[in-house]
Amino acid sequence: LKVVQHYVGHDGQAVVKEHFDCLAAKQKLPSYVLENNELTELSVKAKGDEDWSRDVCLESKQTEYSMVIQVPSSNSSIIYVWCTVLSLEPSTQVHQ
C-alpha cells in the first residue's frame, strides 16, 4: 500500500511524503490520519510485482464509505483490498 501526502512544512516549503505498508492476508493496517487536502494518492500492488495499481479516487461527499480495490498480480490472480474512509469534522467525536 502506498499513500502519498502533500503538505506545507513549518518552513513554508511544500513537502511530499510517501507512506508504504505491507498488508498480509486478512490483516488490517493502522489508520492514516490526514487532512483532506493532504491525501493525494492511494495505490496498491501485489508483493514482488513491479507495477502499482492506478490511484484510487477517495473523494466523496459521504462521511464514511468503503470500497474494494482489485489488484491484478503477475501470477494472473486478483487481490481484493477493502478500504474504509472516514471523513471527520473538527468538532466530531469518533468511537471505533
pLDDT of 96: 39
Average pLDDT, the chain: 75
Domain spans of the chain, in order of start: 2-86
Does residue 39 register a pLDDT over 50? yes
DSSP string of the chain, one letter each residue: -EEEEEEE-TTS-EEEEEEE----TT--PPP----TTTEEEEE---TT-SPPPPPPP---SSSEEEEEEEEE-TTS-EEEEEEEEE---TT-----
pLDDT of 13: 92
What is the radius of gyration, based on Cα positions, of the chain?
Answer: 15
Determine the Cα–Cα distance for residues 71 and 68; give it in Å rounded to an integer.
10
C-alpha cell at 86: 472516514
